[in-house]
Amino acid sequence: MNDKAPRLLFEKSRPGRGTDVIPRSDVPDRPLDSLLPASELASNLVPLPELGELDVVRHYTRLSQLNMAIDSHFYPLGSCTMKYNPKRNERLASLPGLASVHPYQDESTLQGILELLYDLQGILGEIAGLDAVSLQPAAGAQGELAALLTAAAYFRDRGEKRTKVLIPDSAHGTNPASAHLAGFDAVTIKSDSRGLVDMADFMSKHDDQTAVFMITNPNTVGRFDPQVVEIARALHDRGSLLYLDGANMNAILGVVRPGDMGVDLMHYNPHKTFSGPHGGGGPGAGPIAVRASLAPYLPAPIVVKRSDGVFALDYDRPKSIGRTRSFFGNVGVLVRAYCYIRAQGPEGLRRIAEHAVLNANYLLALIKEEYPVPFGDRCMHEFVASARGLARDRGIRAFDIAKGLIDRGFHPPTVYFPLIVSEALMIEPTECESRETLEEFARALLEIAAEDPEKLHEAPVTTPVCRPDEVAAARSPILIHPEASRAGIER
């Protein structure tokens, strides 16, 4: 990484500079105030920066070089499944016949994309072991919301008023946030000493007011909770539903189907499991799959295949919860997921889970002496190591380890999550990485454990910036460039 920090777009602006993108008008010129009410016309131009095309190209090229990314670095960010994003999928999703399709075209002009989406609904249903799929939600968190609203509508339709959603303390923060937004009380279930659901706590909190239990399995400490079968049975006995947070589907593709373990509804994160590029923080998608009894309440529309073989959008779903977003869904992400799944086939999908789990266990084995893993020395697709001992004995905290890894050319794992492990390092290597990369990463971790703590506290030293002051940023927030002119530019 180059050391020179780039100036902001606004600092590069020069009055009078511009580009030639937009042509001259070829329709009769009329005074604008004869077309639009003068009172609504802006007197000035919007104060955007004035740049030439080369300015823009250099600027963003330079910014890109300040990032670590999968294309350039090992990126074992736990829970985010940072796997290789195949280049072919980018090219295919950009085909004009997919990228230039308007959402309100007539269905007769959409038969290709509707067929693809119809097939994807079926494939996601099969992988889930569930009956019906909505591709609409825009992200995993929106999938959670859509599924919980679906569950609420299901209970309402049955004349039941259930108020509680049970959520393990190891769950992603989106789970309780979504439950709250869907109108439920989020009730926390403790984890036991193995990092699994504390069954006594679950049993004491599960009652007739319980609508849904939201489980992540494998969970965020990377363990498969075998109690899921028992949990599902207990829930179903009292009419409650079991939800699966599908963030960790990469670990069980083709090995265990959520429906077969008693799950009634779930969301997928196709940007994780099916390799949609994470885009510096999105876009994702959040399709949901449910049992047949919940299907009438899913968001509309759903893609259907009519008896004459024509694909159509079914809006006629009177019990549907409605829409969670505009238009069909994050189709670009779904197309990439489809391409990814089609490149794998049944054997390939299972192989993903196998190698994701193999890689995680290998890495765990390489580092567990220096970085204890509180919840056992076997894991699924990821594991959570603790730097508690290093922090106590040598003053090396998870935070320092992250910064030391950056200097050694690795993106750090997720740190300080889940909250139930102190000094947590949540490591997810994915199936895509080679044995050599895992070994290099392990060597870096071991080297850091033996490093002079004082030196580590100065890390990173290879990046343009070192340890930004996050407290100051939050105390007196500067959220836009203070010197970017507010005043409009004269027309």
Partner 1 sequence: MAYILNTDDDVALMLRRIGAGSIDELFAAAPESVRLKRLLDVPPALGELELTSHVTAIAARNVGADSRVCFLGGGAYDHFIPAVVDQLAGRGEFYTAYTPYQPEASQGTLQAIFEYQTLVARLTGLDVSNASLYDGGSAVAEAALMARGVTGRSGRIVVAGSAHPESIQVLKTYLANLETEIVVVPQRDGAVEVSEVAGAIDSRTAAVIVQQPNFFGVIEDVSAIVAAARKAGAIAVVSFDPISLGLLRRPGDYGADVAVAEGQCLGNPLAYGGPYLGMMACRESYVRKMPGRIVGQTVDHHGKRCWVLTLQTREQHIRREKATSNICTNQGLLALRASIYLATLGPRGLARVAELSTRKAHYAAERLASVPGLSLAFDRPFFKEFVVRCSVDATSVLAEVGRRGFHGGVALKRFFPEMEDSILIAVTEKRTRDEIDALAVAYDESIRAVRS
Residue (60 or 392) nearer to partner 1, CB = 60
In the complex, minimum distance from the CB of residue 328 to partner 1, in angstroms, rounded to a whole number: 4
Instruction: Please say which residue, 379 or 393, places its beta carbon nearer to partner 1.
Output: 379
Nearer to partner 1, 174 or 210 (CB): 174
CA pair distance 399, 459, nearest whole angstrom: 10
Nearest to 427 by CA among 437, 243, 344: 437
Q: Which is nearer to partner 1, 238 or 435 (CB)?
A: 435
Question: To the nearest whole angstrom, how small is the minimum distance from the Cβ of residue 313 to partner 1?
Answer: 10
**Closest approach of Cβ 449 to partner 1, in Å?**
19
Cα–Cα distance for residue pair 379/415, rounded to 1 Å = 18
Task: Give Cα 250 distance to the centre of its chain.
Answer: 13
Judged by beta carbon, residue 201 or residue 245, the one nearer partner 1 is 245
According to DSSP, the β-strands at 185-189 and 164-168 are parallel
> What tokens does 369 get?
């002496």
How near is the Cβ of 155 to partner 1 at its closest, in Å?
11
What are φ and ψ of residue 215, in 5° steps?
A: -110, 145
- State the nearest-atom distance from the C-beta of 206 to partner 1, in Å: 18
- Judged by beta carbon, residue 339 or residue 390, the one nearer partner 1 is 339
Map residue 384 onto helix, strand or coil: strand
Please, what is the minimum distance in Å from the beta carbon of residue 291 to partner 1?
Answer: 16
- The residue (of 116 and 235) whose beta carbon lies closer to partner 1 is 116
Contacts of 40 (CB under 8 A, 6+ apart): none
- Distance in angstroms (rounded) separating the CA atoms of residues 249 and 396: 33
Round to whole Å and give the CA distance between 74 and 199.
37
Three-state DSSP state, 144: helix
CA–CA separation, 404 and 462 (whole Å): 10
What is the closest distance, in whole angstroms, from the C-beta atom of residue 12 to partner 1 in the complex? 9
| C-alpha gyration radius of the chain | 26
